[in-house]
Amino acid sequence: MSTAFTLYPVSEYTLLFPLVNIFFLEKARRARRSNILSMTQMKSTGGEGWAIYSSQLQKQWKQPETDSPAD
């Protein structure tokens, strides 16, 4: 083997790309976990739980408003 081949400098992108990927993937994982935790911290029992549940049901079953009068 020639010494020129063994001393070939590795591209900076080859070294930086995995590090940048690890950084952004970890950041995305933390954001996802935070979103999941914020959703699961809703009160599910008692009066407050019932208020949340009933408001979600109302949103689900609410009929879309139409501009034309009903026949």
Q: What is the pLDDT along the chain (71 residues), one digit of tens a residue?
A: 555 555 566 777 788 889 999 999 999 999 999 988 887 777 777 888 889 889 889 988 887 666 655 55
- Does a structural domain hold residue 33? yes
Tokens representing residue 30 in the block: 């933390």
Q: Note whether residue 52 is domain-resident.
A: yes
In sequence order, the 6+-apart residues with CB closer than 8 A to the CB of 22 are none
pLDDT of residue 12: 73
Is 41 inside a domain boundary? Answer: yes
The domain containing residue 51 runs over which residues? 10-60
Q: Is residue 27 part of a domain?
A: yes
Into how many domains does the chain fold?
Answer: 1
